[in-house]
Structure 1
Amino acid sequence: MQSSSIKLLPGWQNSGPGHWQTVWEEEFGYERVQQHDWMRPKRGDWTARLQDVVVDAQEPVVLVAHSLGCILTAWWAAHSPQAAQKVRGALLVAPGDVERPDLAELIPGWSPIALQKLPFPAILVGSQNDPYCSAERASLLADSWGARWVDQGNCGHINAESGLGNWPLGQGLLAELSAVAAAKN
């Protein structure tokens, strides 16, 4: 797939310097989906923005989501016919469990999490020591979404603090999804 067909969906507060999404954007030219307000995300606003990006894409896309971006992907896919038509796959990394009371208070309006099977192939990568989503919960989300579960081990929130650099494991998983996407075109 061309780099323009890979869409990066950061989570709450965006992905800053040293985050693998930022590294991928800089190294590979993937497009970051910009949101209106990274600090006070509104599910409706973020969903509308993702819809616009997918509808405006000249070719099918693969989504690469982190944290709240995973929750956004599932919610949007449950409500948009474009999900089945234009998305060829999703790499979902370290979903934030916005149904936990502490996170629901920090990021209101994102519960409930959509739990339907995604209409495209997906891989969900979680961590054994993610402070925002237990490995058990991430595995259950993967099952609900019909995504393949990948256990990253003890990698925290799989973000800049995890020190992954350009995250070779993630690149390999994205290459798998991109191969599936290319076969469907």
Structure 2
Amino acid sequence: MNSIADPTVVIVPGLRDHVADHWQTLLADKLDRVRTVPPLEHDKLSLTARVAALDAVLGEIDGPVVLVAHSAGCMITVHWAQRPTRPIQGALLATPADLEQPLPEGYPVIEDLERNGWNPIPRGRLPFPSIVAASSNDPLGSHRRIAGMAETWGSRLVDLGDVGHLNPAAGYGYWPQAEELLLELTRAKQVAS
């Protein structure tokens, strides 16, 4: 899918890291220039460690970058963007997890998230163009709250309809709209600093 002038795509997974049949993994398999933030061996719930892992991957890339984040990966991205270390051409933030609200069983509780630095969620404008792809029935974030975050981040909001959390548990592996939204971001002429 990439041409020589295209940016490198950096995949920012959520708390469950790399999942073989996830749309991010399937998208990465189709791209020529792509990097995925690796899973942490220790401190898996530490936001600081996850932001540092993203920063390390970005530090190894020359040229333009587009971020493709999902779930808590969106929150890693917006926390990283508070002190960016390099320009980013754009970011696709798909079904952000609202970590300020109780999550379904099997996910970390708010107290653990707060203890590990995830809250509060940054509400400042992102220093790069972004698209928030939101589900109308996401168990990890109400559409109303996610739309509010998109507005404060200065992101274009794309309503995906009833797609749950846009993950394999919701019936999603390959997600073709990801390619369309990524193409929109890779064609952006202006790179924010």
TM-score for the superposition, normalised by structure 2: 0.85
SS at match of 1:131: coil
The residue aligned with 2:106 is none
Structure 1: gaps of 5 or more residues: none
How far did 1:38 drift?
A: 8.4
- Change in Cα spacing, 1:174 to 1:36, as seen in structure 2 (3 Å) is same
Q: How big is each residue's C-alpha offset from its partner over 1:43-75, in whole Å with a ceiling of 9 and x where there is no partner?
A: 110111111211221112000000011001111
Q: Tell me the amino acid that sits aligned with residue 80 of structure 2.
A: W
The question of 1:170 aligning with 2:171 is answered no
Q: Tell me the amino acid that sits aligned with residue 100 of structure 1.
A: Q
- Residue from 21, 25, 28 that aligns with 2:28: 25
Farther off after superposition, 115-124 or 72-81: 72-81
- Change in Cα spacing, 1:39 to 1:21, as seen in structure 2 (3 Å) is farther
Number of residue pairs aligned between Structure 1 and Structure 2: 180
SS at match of 2:187: helix
Structure 2: gaps of 5 or more residues: 104-108
CA separation in 1, counterparts of 2:12 and 2:181?
16
SS at match of 1:116: coil
Contact in 2 for aligned 1:4/1:31 (Cα 8 Å): no
- Change in Cα spacing, 1:164 to 1:101, as seen in structure 2 (3 Å) is closer
Contact in 1 for aligned 2:74/2:96 (Cα 8 Å): yes
RMSD between aligned residues: 2.1
- Residue from 109, 115, 120 that aligns with 2:123: 115
Contact in 2 for aligned 1:9/1:69 (Cα 8 Å): yes
The residue aligned with 1:47 is 51
Q: Tell me the amino acid that sits aligned with residue 142 of structure 1.
A: A
The question of 1:78 aligning with 2:87 is answered no
How far did 1:169 drift?
A: 1.2
The residue aligned with 1:5 is 8
Kindly, what percent of the aligned residue pairs are identical? 36
CA separation in 1, counterparts of 2:85 and 2:36?
22
Higher helix share: 1
The question of 1:88 aligning with 2:89 is answered yes
Q: Tell me the amino acid that sits aligned with residue 175 of structure 1.
A: L
Contact in 1 for aligned 2:22/2:168 (Cα 8 Å): yes
CA separation in 2, counterparts of 1:123 and 1:101?
24
Contact in 1 for aligned 2:9/2:66 (Cα 8 Å): yes
